[in-house]
Structure 1
Amino acid sequence: MKHSLVKQRYAKSLLDLALDLNQVEEVHADMQLLLAIAADSRDLTMMLRSPIIKPDYKIAVFTKLFDGKMSNLTMQFMALLAKKKREELLVEIADKFLSLYKEHRGIKTAYLSTAKELNPEVRDRVVQRLKSQTGAEVELIEKVEDDLIGGFVLRMDDKQIDASMRGALKKIAREFDENLYTKAF
């Protein structure tokens, strides 16, 4: 099987099992914790990918790192991956699980780039406006990009709204390059 199909199947199986056992929120929190730790710890990701380290040792590391911090379901899932020699896919499976979780909960992700950090009132208004437009819960991921000069760029699903000064200046530059005007003299 291709790795993308394997990740999809394991993530879907974990979500289905968590739904059956009514532990979706706990497993969701566990997957977020796992991704946060993996992003900060190069050693953990190297250990997961290493074919030299035995699965039993990896399970022992999981137990030391996460015992008491993660649900039993997640701990058993990670042990299963190690036994099946699929632990190198754990981070990708966790990421896929979060995508499936958002899909299950009807949560859409919007990416908002601004020239300066938004104040909380404006952020809340943007989220409320997106909720009313889409009819879904919205997770807003903000990014500050100084080169926007002013305004914002909003991306959600397959749509993008570029209301930035950078975008406006690029549009003007393209119009000048097209040279729509001819000399009359």
Structure 2
Amino acid sequence: MAELTTLARPYAKAVFEAAKERDAVGSWDQALALVGMLAADGAVKKILANPGLSEQRKAELFFDTAEEQMPEALRNFLLILAENKRLALLPEISTLFTFYRAELERTVNMKVSTAFEMTPEEQQKLAEALSRKLERKVALETAVDRSLIGGVVVNTGDLVIDASVRGKLAKMAKALGS
């Protein structure tokens, strides 16, 4: 995974800068998400690994699928990826592009797990508190996890805030076991 990220990073930075220059970050993010999702599909992976198919034809498969959403400059980017035999990096490039967009727009998507369903008011209060703490606009994705017993677990990327009863009990058990 880290190797794919390392290979994908220069391509993602280049396509992000090109999108910024054209003031098209949002539309390119959507188009890259689509082709990234396609490239992650098992059947498409087999096609991309087929040595009997030309790299040009492999790129054209993406053009045919995402025709309306594919700006001309992004088509050229896919051709460059195809020439360098890097179309398989599209899922990682898309992920990095979305990360760069979030950094530019100072936004963050956070996953929130709670023991019980949160009301819209509770979600709004939590989003506002996290926004103040992180100095970013926060979008929440909520899920119910009854095993938490109570409280909340918030995570995004490498940041995890565990304020659950289960987490506190685990810390107490560890402290008592020492």
Contact 2:113–2:142 (CA under 8 A) maintained in structure 1: yes
Alignment partners' CA distance in 2, 1:114 and 1:99: 25
> What amino acid is aligned across from residue 121 of structure 1 in structure 2?
E
Alignment partners' CA distance in 2, 1:169 and 1:6: 42
Contact 2:12–2:93 (CA under 8 A) maintained in structure 1: yes
Contact 1:49–1:87 (CA under 8 A) maintained in structure 2: no
Q: Percent identity over the alignment?
A: 28
Q: Which residue is equivalent to 1:129?
A: 129
> What amino acid is aligned across from residue 162 of structure 2 in structure 1?
D
Shift of 1:66: 0.8
Alignment partners' CA distance in 2, 1:153 and 1:121: 18
Contact 1:27–1:73 (CA under 8 A) maintained in structure 2: no
Contact 1:12–1:97 (CA under 8 A) maintained in structure 2: yes
Alignment partners' CA distance in 2, 1:72 and 1:23: 12
Contact 1:11–1:93 (CA under 8 A) maintained in structure 2: yes
Contact 1:111–1:156 (CA under 8 A) maintained in structure 2: yes
Shift of 1:170: 1.7
Q: Which residue is equivalent to 2:11?
A: 10
Q: Which residue is equivalent to 1:32?
A: 33
The structure whose Rg is larger is 1
Contact 1:148–1:165 (CA under 8 A) maintained in structure 2: yes
CA, structure 1 residues 59+146, in 2 after alignment: closer, same or farther (shift >3 Å)? Answer: same
CA, structure 1 residues 97+174, in 2 after alignment: closer, same or farther (shift >3 Å)? Answer: same
Q: 3-state SS of the aligned residue for 1:92?
A: helix
Q: 3-state SS of the aligned residue for 1:142?
A: strand
Q: Which residue is equivalent to 1:75?
A: 75
Tell whether 2:47 aligns with 1:47.
yes
Shift of 1:87: 0.9
* Mapping 1:68-107, distance limit 5 Å: 68-107=68-107
Shift of 1:61: 1.1
Q: 3-state SS of the aligned residue for 2:69?
A: coil
> What amino acid is aligned across from residue 87 of structure 1 in structure 2?
L
Tell whether 2:51 aligns with 1:61.
no
Q: 3-state SS of the aligned residue for 2:61?
A: helix
Contact 2:12–2:97 (CA under 8 A) maintained in structure 1: yes
Alignment partners' CA distance in 2, 1:36 and 1:126: 31
Return 5+ residue gaps in structure 2 as ranges.
none
CA, structure 1 residues 19+70, in 2 after alignment: closer, same or farther (shift >3 Å)? Answer: same
- Give the total of aligned pairs: 176
> What amino acid is aligned across from residue 163 of structure 2 in structure 1?
A
Q: Which residue is equivalent to 1:108?
A: 108
Contact 1:114–1:145 (CA under 8 A) maintained in structure 2: yes
> What amino acid is aligned across from residue 7 of structure 1 in structure 2?
A
Return 5+ residue gaps in structure 1 as ranges.
179-185
